[in-house]
Structure 1
Amino acid sequence: MLLIKNGKIFTMDGAVYEEGSILIEQGKIKEIGENIVAPLDAEVIDAEGKIVMPGFIDAHCHLGMWEDSIGFEGADGNEMTDPITPQLRAIDAINPLDRSFEESREGGVTCVATGPGSANVIGGQFAAIKTYGDRIDDMVVKEPIAMKCAFGENPKRVYNDKNKSPMTRMATASLLRETLMKANEYKRKLEDAGDDSSKRPDFDIKMEAMLKVMNGEMPLKAHAHRADDILTSIRIAKEFGVKLTLEHCTEGHLIAHHIKNEGLSAVVGPSFGERSKFELKNLTFDTPGVLNKAGVKVAIMTDHPVIPLKHLNLCAALATKAGMDENEALKAITINAAEILDIDDRVGSLKEGKDADIVVWDKHPFDLMSEVLYTIIDGEVVYKK
């Protein structure tokens, strides 16, 4: 057993305890509140004068997919040989021994959604994982959680260099529609065949991978920066009745009312960096706050390694500086991220029965000089200052 006591606890579940305690047993939060009495043999962390929060969650990054300080040999996020690769799974590329995992824990990040990049129209399957472990199978929270797809400049650039489709936004949309149509037909044939194996369609690994999207079991995770690309992703998702989350959403502040009216969530970023291409010309830290004030559920991302994952708190702090409500910015890297990823039954807030993913800070995490004192994942202290 582990007891954290005397800390100012932000549960991200509505309650804030000025001098609260958390009792942890077998990797779960057993009790949270004030004046908790723990068994005499419990390990105790005295957090007096400190901030206690849920571990932070990055809802969109590429942790372990592009390894630190390596280059091509560690770059496993983009299979740039075919624009349609839904069968690819992030768990087959993630290297949990990459040192960025350790740095993430030092930054208070305990869970991430990581997966393929945006070179392909359909890039493959994202996974939600913890940031501690030496075997990816033991780190998975949920897999797959989403199917990555991409609009805008990236697929155009990659396949223009190969002199093959897609070289235009029209072709990107067309290839995605074609795949969704094929997946619908594949699903229909499977349903019509029932238990009669002789009537089943020929096995197609791409279509098998798309079934979870067509069945509404996971969303398309749509890379889209520019407003027109965001709206194209919405148009196609509505055509086929599939779920959608908006990723990057760089010009989302320009069309916030449309995103709100469509009932969609936005995973915004990376907002800290250069405007390296045309579709980033309206990049601003205003975006998360504008969307939030319009009623859109927002998460904030690093897109690691674009921004090192350990700086997720800085990204949220800069969104606050640009006008986002401070508590809403905290939600954007905790409970909102968990809800968008559909893993909030386990992580994202401090609540009895949830995973004991907890971070003790010496100051508020939005303070530039703040440091993580303890990072706890599944009840185990995995980093100590």
Structure 2
Amino acid sequence: MLLIKNGTLLTMTGEAIENGQLLVDKGKIIAVGKDLGMPAHCPTLDAEGGFIMPGMIDAHCHVGMWEDGLDFEGADGNEGTDPATPHLRAIDAINPRDRALVEAYEHGVTCICTGPGSANVIGGQFATIKTKGKRIDKMILQETAAMKVAFGENPKKRYSAKQQSPSTRMATAAIWRDYLFKTKNYLENKEKGSGFDLKLESLIPVVKGELNVKAHVHRADDIFTAIRIAKEFGLKMTLEHCTEGHFIADELAEEGFSVIAGPFIGPRGKVELKELTFNTPAILHRAGVKIALMTDHPVVPVYYLPLCAALAVKAGLAEEEALKAITLNPAEILGISDRVGSLEAGKDADIAIFDQHPLNVQANTTWVLIDGEVVFKRG
């Protein structure tokens, strides 16, 4: 058992609790509040007047898929030989020794959703993991968190260079729809003893509406194409990046799909990013869209996640909402809010303690816990 005391609790579920306390036992938070009764001789951790918050969550990145400091040998995120690879799994590529995972938890990012890139129309399966561990199998929160699908510039660029389809947006949409139809037919015929197809097996949870689709979309037209197909097949889906979302925020609110927005730090390095602005999260939130913020690591280093939130505040997003966009909202969007995302009794003791408000760019983590274990202590 461990008592964390003498800090401001940013619970994500209500008002901040000044001089609050957290009681942790067996990897879980068991009590949150002020002046908690504690057993005699209970070990304590003094936050020394700092800020205590749930560990941060990056809902879209590629940590461990493109290893830090390596070129081809560490690049395992795009199987750019086939535009449809739904059977690929992130857990078979993530290297727990990627230095970026250490940097993540040292800066308070305790959970990430990581997976394939956007070269293929259907890229494969994302996984949600804790950022501390030696073996991926023991770090998993969701072995299969979502199916990655990409629209727009990236699949076009990869396969037109190979003189293959897709070289147009029409072909990208057609390939995605074709695989959804094939999967529906495969599912109907499966009980009749039809042959086994690993790709289509991987898509069965998608067509059943059981597995979320992560739709890589930047431009407004691509966003609407993704929505059109999702509605046609009854898919669960989140809109990833959503760079032009500020132009269509009212439409997105009406449709009801959540957005994992970003990355916003960096240059407008391709055509689809020409409308990139940090105003997007605030505009989407004001319209009623649930948002999370991403780094898209290695595009932006994963430990810059709180900086992404701070810059969103500078551009008009309320501070409380910016904190939720890197904690509770991604947990809810990913379907893991029963485990992480807020400081509540019963949840995993994934906790970050800062010496200043976490959205102050000069703030440092002083302590970080994952599953109740101290994984980082400054000094």
The TM-score range, normalised by the shorter chain, is: over 0.9
Q: Which residue of 2 aligns with 1:196?
A: none
Amino acid at match of 2:214: K
Distance 1:379 1:179 in 2: 43
Amino acid at match of 1:207: L
Secondary structure of the corresponding residue to residue 30 of structure 2? strand
2:328 equivalent to 1:311 = no
Secondary structure of the corresponding residue to residue 29 of structure 1? strand
Amino acid at match of 1:365: P
- 1:241 corresponds, among 234, 239, 247, to 234
Distance 1:335 1:149 in 2: 24
Question: How far has the Cα of 1:28 moved from its partner?
Answer: 0.3
Q: For structure 1, list consecutive stretches of 5 or more residues without a partner in the other structure.
A: 194-198
Amino acid at match of 2:84: I
Which digits, 9 at most, give the CA deviation of each residue in 1:272-308, with x for residues without a partner? 0000001100000000010000000000000001000
Alignment of 1:109-124 (within 5 A): 109-124=109-124
Q: Which residue of 1 aligns with 2:315?
A: 322
Q: Which residue of 1 aligns with 2:56?
A: 56
Contact 1:60–1:112 (Cα < 8 Å) also in 2: yes
Distance 2:235 2:284 in 1: 22
Amino acid at match of 2:140: V
Which digits, 9 at most, give the CA deviation of each residue in 1:146-188, with x for residues without a partner? 1000001000000011110000000000000000000111111
Secondary structure of the corresponding residue to residue 271 of structure 1? coil
The size of the alignment, in residue pairs, is 378
Distance 1:306 1:295 in 2: 28
Amino acid at match of 1:176: W
Q: Which residue of 2 aligns with 1:22?
A: 22
Which digits, 9 at most, give the CA deviation of each residue in 1:183-229, with x for residues without a partner? 11111123xx2xxxxx2220000011001111111111000000000
- 1:344 corresponds, among 337, 340, 346, to 337
Q: Which residue of 2 aligns with 1:75?
A: 75
Q: Which residue of 2 aligns with 1:136?
A: 136
Alignment of 1:331-370 (within 5 A): 331-370=324-363
Question: How far has the Cα of 1:37 moved from its partner?
Answer: 2.7
Secondary structure of the corresponding residue to residue 48 of structure 1? strand
Secondary structure of the corresponding residue to residue 200 of structure 1? coil
Distance 1:355 1:53 in 2: 12
Secondary structure of the corresponding residue to residue 330 of structure 2? helix
Distance 1:261 1:57 in 2: 26
Alignment of 1:1-385 (within 5 A): 1-190=1-190, 193=191, 199-385=192-378
Secondary structure of the corresponding residue to residue 264 of structure 1? coil
Distance 2:194 2:249 in 1: 42
Distance 1:373 1:294 in 2: 36
Distance 1:254 1:35 in 2: 48
Distance 2:109 2:299 in 1: 16
Q: For structure 2, list consecutive stretches of 5 or more residues without a partner in the other structure.
A: none
Distance 1:47 1:247 in 2: 35
Amino acid at match of 1:278: V
TM-score by length of 2: 0.99
Which digits, 9 at most, give the CA deviation of each residue in 1:130-159, with x for residues without a partner? 000010000001121110000010000000
Distance 2:188 2:14 in 1: 44
Amino acid at match of 2:314: K
Amino acid at match of 2:284: L
Contact 1:116–1:125 (Cα < 8 Å) also in 2: yes
Contact 1:28–1:354 (Cα < 8 Å) also in 2: yes
Distance 2:105 2:272 in 1: 32
Amino acid at match of 1:70: L
Question: How far has the Cα of 1:353 moved from its partner?
Answer: 0.4
Distance 2:222 2:239 in 1: 10
Secondary structure of the corresponding residue to residue 110 of structure 1? strand
Secondary structure of the corresponding residue to residue 111 of structure 2? strand
Secondary structure of the corresponding residue to residue 47 of structure 1? strand
Contact 1:19–1:48 (Cα < 8 Å) also in 2: no
Question: How far has the Cα of 1:40 moved from its partner?
Answer: 3.3
Note the aligned Cα RMSD (angstroms): 0.8
Amino acid at match of 1:178: D
Amino acid at match of 2:220: A
Distance 2:372 2:38 in 1: 15
Question: How far has the Cα of 1:10 moved from its partner?
Answer: 0.7
Amino acid at match of 1:289: A
Secondary structure of the corresponding residue to residue 272 of structure 2? helix
